[in-house]
Structure formats: C-alpha cells, structure tokens
Structure 1
Amino acid sequence: MANKIDYAGQSDDQLGESLSNLKREQFNLRFQAATSQLEKPSRVREVRKDIARIKTLQAQRSAAAGK
C-alpha cells in the first residue's frame, strides 16, 4: 500500500470525515464492479480494510472514554 494513511493520528472529526469519504468510494467501486468498469480491483479490499481500521479506532476511543 503506497498511500497508507495514519488514522491513529487523526481527530475524531477527521476520522468521521475519512469514514464518510471511504464509504462513498466503496459505493462507487461497487457500481463500477457491477458494470464491469473496475480499473483496480484491489482497491475494493483496501477500502474495506481502511473502513474496518477506522471503525476499530472509533470503538477503542469510545471504550477508553467510557472508563
């Protein structure tokens, strides 16, 4: 992954914005895949994993704030 982003260094607002952008990209990639216009199939997996990373960070932060 050449353009790996450090999500741990982002604020909660930045994480939310990144998550929103990634979900929008995931939606667009699904449409491209359905119409056989997907140029980079590996990007689907990267986006999915980035979404999981952000959700994990958000869950960890909310659990730490609850203690």
Structure 2
Amino acid sequence: MFDPATTALLRAVLDEVCENVSCHETGARTHIASKILEAATDGDTTPDRLKEVGREALSGVPTMWR
C-alpha cells in the first residue's frame, strides 16, 4: 500500500502518459498502470522514472488496444 502522496503521483503520471489514449481503451490503460505500479513497488518512485516506465509501456501496448 502506498501513502497518499505516492498514490497521487502514480495517478498523475498515469493521466499524463495516457493523455492521448481514449478513456474507452481500458486494456491499454490497465497495461500502462500495471507497469507504473510495478515500477513503484520496486522502488522507482521518482516522477521522471515513472513517466519513462509509462511511456515504455505505452509504446509496447498491442495495437488492438490503441
């Protein structure tokens, strides 16, 4: 479980990375969120690193989710 500040950071990073992803693309958003969450769980909690992880996940999203 993350503290409220970290949770807010994770949400902000997800929103920024997914700004051009339709809200109806739940599969893509879930994939990106899981990668960001995984990084945070592993200790990567800096905004820049989380954004990088999110962007890498976005580029790896299967095209059927985009």
Q: TM-score range by the shorter chain?
A: 0.3 to 0.5
TM-score by length of structure 2 reads 0.37
TM-score by length of structure 1 reads 0.36
Q: More helix per residue: 1 or 2?
A: 1
